[in-house]
Every structure is written in structure tokens, then in C-alpha cells.
A and B are shown apart, each in its own frame.
Chain A
Amino acid sequence: MGAIRIAASMQDVHCVLHAPQGDSYADLLFTMIARSAKRPPVTYTSFQARDMGADTAELVRKTLRETVDRFQPQALLVGEACTGELLQDQPAALAQGMGFDCPVVPLELPAFTRKEQWGASETFHQLVRTLLRGQPPRARDPAAEGRRPRANLLGATALGFRCRDDIAEVTKLLDGAGVDVNLSAPAGASPEDLRRIPEADFNICLYPEIAQSTCAWLERMFKQPWVKTVPIGVGATRDFLREVGEVAGIDTSAAIAAGRTRLPWFSRSVDSTYLTGKRVFIFGDASHVIAAARIATEELGFEVVGLGSYSREFARELRTAAERYGVEALISDDYLEVESAVLELAPELVLGTQMERHIAKRAGIPCAVISSPVHVQDFPARYAPQMGFEGANVIFDTWVHPLMMGLEEHLITMFREDEEFHDEAVASHLGSGRVSSSSAETAARPAATAEPTMSADDMGAEAALVWESEAERELKKIPFFVRGKARRNTERFAAERGVARITVETLYDAKAYFGR
């Protein structure tokens, strides 16, 4: 899958995979989710049970020959899907022995142990190595050559989050700082373009999950330094420009000062007061999560209550980031584990992938998508980068929109029983549906405590808790969108103190204890 992402991102590259029928489902992720007008350049051998008795290696050779004849690629990626791997036909070795004119890049991706992002990273790295083989490092000096410094933008791929617009935004940003873009890869590049990588003065590692190993290799082999800051968020974008300045040997302070973004002012405006301390849970690929945690805390005034990622290769970076926010990083690709973390933490906002969007939706928690994997709606028609100053604007809107607006939060107390604002009304921006009286409240609570009668999973001290009816009535006076938290806090407060019956007094004691 990772290899297909690289092939589909590029021009004039074709990928042949030794894979059974059914594996071609991968095509539809590109054609449907990313609305790609082209089929990804992948040919599958589509072997079946009856082929396995015969010569599957011959099937591989035939597929290779026909593919090269038909598509005439500048580079051929050859590998195996998980089952193909088990047949041990070694399609890459077969391809290398067939005397094709184009370079053959063998893909050795152990599908059973590693995952998609690693596969994409490794494929890109192998492709770059193959194409640059034999090229000597060269001396570069933009000032002496009378030109602006040149950079490669590395890491953007098909199915990556907002890559199309990020590349445009970062290109603009660099232009403002006096840096030209030599090329962007893998997205949009051909093998011919990749051969020009050494012409740049330095590399910019925009998506470390895909490009970090390639950047490190280019630094070793071609003495190209690389920019490591991912410019997502206002602070990170400024840091990015500073780092570009250092690496390129130019002064970028004017570009930093000229950066137009509304995020800082919007965040300081009084309407945003209600954002203060909003509890947020963040999950996605490592770079987007680390960037999001910084924006959430430094630029929006949220509190990060949990963060995590499926990017095992970046576990160390994630743990370091998590420590900064006093939480523990959840490194997992089991969405059930992520779901239970969300339910347990009961955040007020979830920033995640498509999976977390579903989890949050079920739990009735507002959510914004910040990372792949994503669904078709996250390939928007409009310009919506995440990177650079414009990206910060987009992020402010996208993250704040799912939350209740500041004014709305005020009014809701005032007009609690009104048609639009009563307990059972859904926030206006969340659609016109009505929820049952309890679901808005229960949704924000851990599933296990959703019912007054506790489930077996929850046979702890809390199981014995009883709400007096007067306390129950008092709880109803609290606006519904914070009621779940009030109930939870009160129960926790009571449980910790061994209080079995929750009275109005307990409710207010807990309120005083937890503050806010």
C-alpha cells in the first residue's frame, strides 16, 4: 500500500505487485477517496489458486513484460503484497533479469511487520537511491552563482493530508523569503525530476513519516542540509522560516514579520475566551499530532488531555511531546484502544483521523480532522492548507467551528428553556436533529457509566453511588453541554471520599473542588 502511494503520487512510474485478486481494492482509495481521475499506476498479477499449481514466476514475467510494453515507465517498482511474499517468486529479481531499459526498483517491504507509512517512506528512499546512483556530490554556492537558494520539498504523497495545498502554501512562503523550489517529490515528480534532487542547496522535510530517511541519506551522500521543522501553526511556521534562514544562509526576519495570519488576534479576541482550557484529545500521524498539540496549547489555549499516534517509527518524538503536556503518548493502531481512551478522558474536542471522527461522533464529542487517513470530504475543492500562515487560518476555523461559539455558551444559560436553546436541542451547527434528553449528556460520559444502573465493567466504588433526586434536579439546571462533566466530576469526587449518596451539597462541594 505504501509503495502504491508513492507510485500514484508520481509521473511516469509504474508499480507491479505480485498479489492475488482482491488486492486491487487499493485502487479505489485513490479513485474514490481522493477523487483521482487517473487509476493509480499499478498492475497486479492477480494470481489465483489454480495458478499456484502452475508456474507463478512465469505469470510474474508475463505481467512485467506486458506492463513495460504498455506503459513505458521511466522507473519500475516491483514488489509483492503480503500473500505474494509467501510464494517466494522474487518478482523484483525476475524483473532485474529481464533487461528492461528503465531502472527497476525492488521493493522489499515486509508486509507482515511494517505498515503503510513505513512502506511509502522506504519505497521513496529506494527510488531516490536507485535514480541517483553514481551521481557525485557537487559544490553549490547560490551567492557566487548569482541566484536565489533552491530547496526540494520532500514528502508530499497521494492520500496525504492536504498535501496539494501545503505544497502551494510552502512554495509561496519560501518565495517570500527569497528561496526557490527546485522540485517537490514524490507528489508531482517524475523519475527525471528526482535525478535533479542534487541541484538544490538543501531539502525541506515536510512530511517526516515519508521523507525523513531520504533527507538523512541525501545529507550524507550529497551534503544537502535539511530543514526539520514542520510549518504547521503560527509558531512552527515562524520557526520554520528561521531554520530556512539558517540553512540557506539568508535573513528571513522580514518574511517572518510579513506573515499574514489572523490566528493570533482571533485567539486573543474576547469571543475566544470560552476556548480557554478546553480539554482536547489528539491522535493521528506523528508530525500532525505533535504540531497540533503545540497549536492547541500555545495558540488556542486548550489543554491537551491525551495524545497519540499510529506512527510507531516516531514513538520517541511523540513521547517527548507528550511529556511536555504532562500526558502519556498512546502509540497504537487499535482503534478500540483509542476509543476507550477517548471515552475515559471525555475530552471536549477530538482532533484526529477519520477513525477518531467516527469515535467522536458516536460519543457526541466535537471533532476536527487533522491527519490521514481521511475520507472524501477531507479532499476539499477549496484551498485549505495546513501549513504556513494561511494554514494557521484554516486550522483556527476548522478546530473552532465544531465547538459551541462563545456567545452561544452565554445565551444558553439565559434562554435555557427557549425553543432553540433547551436541553434537547442540538447545537445549531451540529445539524437540525434533536437528541433524546439523555443522549447529549450520556454521550459525553464514559460509556460504562451511561446507565444509572452500572454495568458489570464498572463494579468499583462508583457502582454504589446514588444520586438523590434533589441533586439530580440541581444537575439538570447546569447547561447540558457541561452537565456530563459535572456529573462525572461529582461522581469521582464522591467515590474518592467514599460518599455513597450524592446530595446537592456533594454536587457543589465537587464544583468547588474541581474549580471552573
Chain B
Amino acid sequence: MSGASDIASCGGSLPVQREHGQRQVFCGLAGIVWLHRKIQDAFFLVVGSRTCAHLLQSAAGVMIFAEPRFGTAILGDRDLAGLADCNEELDRVVTELLARRPDIGTLFLVASCPSEVIKLDLDNAAARLAREQQGRVRVLAYSGSGLDTTFTQGEDTCLSALVPELPEADAGGEALLVLGTLPDVVEDQFRRLFEALGIPALHFLPPRRGSELPPVGPGTRLLAAQPFVGGTAAALVDRGATLLEAPYPFGIEGTRAWLGAAAAAFGIAAARVDEVTAPAVARAERGLERYRAQLAGKRISFLPDSQLEIPLARFLQHECGMTLVEVGVPYLDRRMMGAELDWLPSDVRLTEGQDLERQLDRLRADRPDLTVCGLGLANPLEAEGLTTKWSIELVFSPVHGFDQAADLAELFVRPLNRRERLAF
């Protein structure tokens, strides 16, 4: 199993090499870091081990909050012995927490590797606790376990848990639902653009508050802003929504096509899209120009990490003139990546999954000008003389849309620029 790889054909076009082996990637618990900032009245309670607590506290670098809206209910030896005790203990922790924090409107019980392995049923626990709270607090469960989720996939499982809670949209109510966490500033930019285009009704999932869940129904047109929300998209389609096929709003082309797909779904003419977006496109062109010259012709490799690899690679190749050496993704969701894959060059080396040591062997042989990788690998690769860009910044920074296109390019320019400046 470990080390195996095979070539599979993807949708009849791009071949993808599948790898199994050691992975260097966060588990889905990491999603809590941005989800708890986005949904202001939600609390995330991880039911896990000390390792889970340690990940959240130190690796995520979020120790700065006194009493943040996330925590870990630590499973001890006693809990492993009997599920009954475990449930009792969880009820106690939750009751105490909710009594102490009246500001919490939605509580997520987040499953971890150990809770999954001992088969602790958090869905049941959530239902039980919700009943006890008598509607005062919504209690939901999802998995952030490394057994089921990699890094950004934790957002997908979280949002999937919200889908059954969404109210039914009024019959005939046509609305656009934008799916995937965006920084508030970017969300507001998109809101202005969609309103200018004349989109009749607009909602975002996740909402800024758990109490403001968007409606869903047959009139819902679903537009994914992030490539890692495939499970949620499928659940929304089950509730009647129509998923719009579009690339992701990275760079000018991606954003233009993404807005265009939404406009088309509401019968808005392409000319109107050009008209509305023209000022922002012109601004973005000016901003991007400066960085293109510095990126053009440079070779880049992506190690599998955030699921953003494919759209970012497309942006850097198409709009910035970079050469793609290898694009690695943790998993390939063809339904969510269709439009993006069409834009990738046909000879790109696309890999799915990871076998870390072999991947590093290839990387050392390739010696690209820039390597996009996780924090655990960045310094050791720099020490080997490779220039790196930490992928986590691409998840946490506002990088979507026209007005961030230049910022996105700059994130890749900076490490190259730094290398050039330093005398050693």
C-alpha cells in the first residue's frame, strides 16, 4: 500500500499519478482556525486526545486568545474503557461550557482520530445535547479526523453538517449561494459585484453568524468559492440546488469566469459582466503587471496540502507565465475541478495523494525555482537551497477576486525576491 502509485486517466483528459504513503499535511481540525473566526457565534469543541489539543494550540499558532471559541474535550484512559462514561463526561463538559458562554449560538462537536476509532457517536451526542438545550443552542457534529479529512476538508465536513439545518427556500425564490469561507473583506467585494450585476438574491455559506443560515431549495444556484467543499456541494444539490460549473475566483481570468458563470445562470448577458467588472479588471491588470515580469518563466512545484493547488497553478501558469513542474493535490475531486483542469496545460505532472520521501526525491531532481509546501517542510527545503512558499498563508490570506489578484501573485514573488536580495 505504502509507496504504491498508479497512473489513472482523469475525465479522459489529464492523466493523474496516484500515490499512497507518508503524508505531510494537517488533518481537518486545522479548519477550525478560520471557521471560528468566520462564524462569530460558533464554538468548536474537539473531542480528542492531547495531540489534538496540542495541534490546535501550538501548530495553528492561535495560543493568543484567552478563551477562544474552540477547545478540546480530552479523552483519557477512562473514556476509552467505556463509551457510557465518555458520553457522560462529554455532556458535563458541554453543559459547563454552554453555561459559561451564553454568547455561543452554535456548538460543533468535532470528531478526531481517537473518537472515530473508539466509535464515539457524536451525531447522537449532538442530538441529545441539542434536546437538553431546548433550542437555545444548536449542537452539530462533524469530523475533523485525519482518518477522513485532510486540512481544508475539515471545512467541507463542517459545512456539510450545517446543510440539514438550512431553512427551505420559498418556492420559486431564485438566489445565488456562494459556498466556502471567504474573508469578510473579499465577501463584501463580491457582494458589491453581484449586486451590480443584478443577481436577485445572494447568500453565503458559512454565514457570519450561525443564526443567519441561508435558505436552500430548487431555485438555489450554487457557486463554490473554494475547491474543497465538494461534499457540502453534493448535500446542497440533494436539497435541490444547482451547482454551477466554474473555475475558482483566483486571478483575473478565474474571477471573471466565476462571476460570468453566476451571471449566466441568472440570464445576465456577458456584455453586462464585462461592463460591471471593467474597472476592477483594469485595476487588477495594473497591479498584476509588476509581478508578472518577476514570475514569468520561473518553474514551480506544488506539494499536496490545501486543495488550492490546481486553481493556483492555473493562475500562475496562465496569467503569470510560470512553468508548472509538478502539481500535487491531497485528493482529486473531479466534479469540483472540472473547469480548472480544462485550463491546465496537457503535459502537467499532476499527482494525487502523497508518498513523501519519493515526492521529495522528485523535487530534488526537479529543483524548481519555487516550491509550495507546508510549514513542516519549508525550512528543511530552504536549507537544501530550494526556495519555498508556505502554503498555509494561501489559505489564511485574502487572495480571491480581482482586487487581491496582485496580492496573490506577490505572495509567490516575495520568497524569490528575498533570495535575490540576500548576499548569502
**A positions within 8 Å CB-CB of B:** 1, 20-29, 31-32, 35-39, 43-49, 51-52, 54, 58-59, 62-63, 66, 70, 81-83, 86-87, 110-113, 115-116, 336, 339, 354-355, 358-359, 362, 373
Contacts and interface: CB of A to CB of B under 8 A. Distances in A.
B147 interface: yes
A43 B356 CA distance: 9
Interface stretch (B63-71, B225-233, B289-297): B63-71
A37 B376 contact: no
Contact of A359 (B21, B26, B66, B114): B66
B53 to A, nearest CB: 9
Interface string B363-405: 0000000000011111110110000000000000000000000
B213 interface: no
A116 to B, nearest CB: 8
A110 B50 CA distance: 11
Nearest to B375: A28
Contact of A20 (B145, B375, B382): B145
A62 B55 contact: no
A336 B357 CA distance: 40
Interface in B13-70: 21-30, 49-51, 54-55, 58-59, 63-64, 66-67
Given A22-B29, A86-B118, A354-B63, A49 B148 contact: yes
Contacts of A358: 63-64, 66
A59 B66 CA distance: 41
Contact of B357 (A24, A58, A70): A70
B266 to A, nearest CB: 39
A515 B190 CA distance: 62
Given A62-B3, A86-B117, A44 B22 contact: yes
B22 A43 contact: yes
Given A27-B376, A39-B376, 17 more contacts: A1-B51, A22-B113, A23-B146, A24-B22, A24-B376, A25-B55, A25-B376, A29-B59, A31-B375, A32-B379, A37-B379, A59-B2, A82-B113, A83-B49, A86-B118, A112-B114, A373-B58
Interface in B108-148: 112-114, 116-118, 145-148
A46 B51 CA distance: 15
Given A20-B146, A22-B55, A31 B50 contact: no
A52 B54 CA distance: 24
A14 to B, nearest CB: 12
Contacts of B51: 1, 23, 81-82, 111
Top 5 closest A-B pairs, CB basis? A22-B27, A22-B146, A27-B376, A37-B383, A83-B113
Interface stretch (B72-80, B181-189, B270-278): B72-80
Nearest to B112: A83
A28 B374 contact: yes
22 contacts: A20-B145, A21-B27, A22-B27, A22-B29, A23-B146, A24-B23, A24-B24, A25-B26, A25-B30, A28-B376, A29-B58, A36-B380, A47-B147, A49-B145, A51-B1, A62-B3, A82-B113, A83-B147, A86-B80, A113-B77, A358-B64, A362-B66
Interface of A is mostly: helix
A39 B147 contact: no
A455 B382 CA distance: 52
A26 B118 CA distance: 23
A81 B198 CA distance: 53
Given A20-B147, A23-B51, A112-B77, A54 B59 contact: no
Contact of B75 (A25, A27, A59, A112): A112
Contacts of B380: 31, 36-39
A37 B64 CA distance: 26
A34 to B, nearest CB: 9
Contact of B383 (A24, A38, A45, A82): A38
B147 to A, nearest CB: 4
Contacts, number: 148
A31 B116 contact: no
Contact of B148 (A29, A48, A83): A48
A439 B51 CA distance: 36
A84 B370 CA distance: 35
A112 B76 contact: yes
A18 to B, nearest CB: 11
B307 interface: no
From A23, A62, A112, name the one whose CB has the most chain B CB atoms within 10 angstroms: A112
Nearest to A61: B2
B3 A54 contact: no
Contacts of B160: none
B364 to A, nearest CB: 13
B150 interface: yes
Contacts of B117: 52, 83, 86-87
Contact of B2 (A21, A32, A37, A63): A63
Nearest to B76: A112
Contacts of A47: 147
Contacts of A25: 26-27, 30, 55, 59, 376
Contacts of B54: 1, 116
A28 B76 CA distance: 26
Given A29-B58, A31-B377, A112-B77, A24 B145 contact: no
Contacts of B357: 43, 66, 70
Given A20-B147, A83-B147, A28 B59 contact: yes
A30 to B, nearest CB: 8
A384 B240 CA distance: 64
A36 to B, nearest CB: 7
Contact of B113 (A1, A20, A28): A20
B32 to A, nearest CB: 13
A336 B49 contact: no
Contact of B25 (A1, A21, A29): A21
Contacts of B376: 24-25, 27-28, 31-32, 39
Contacts of A24: 22-25, 376
A112 B1 CA distance: 29
A26 B50 CA distance: 13
A27 B145 CA distance: 18
A22 B116 CA distance: 14
A32 B378 contact: yes
A70 B1 CA distance: 17
A66 B375 contact: no
B396 to A, nearest CB: 15
From B58, B76, B377, name the one whose CB has the most chain A CB atoms within 10 angstroms: B58
A196 to B, nearest CB: 29
A355 B58 CA distance: 10
A71 to B, nearest CB: 9
A63 B59 CA distance: 25
B241 to A, nearest CB: 27
A448 B30 CA distance: 32
Contacts of B375: 28, 31-32
Nearest to A70: B357
Contact of A115 (B25, B50, B116, B147): B50
Contacts of B377: 27, 31, 39
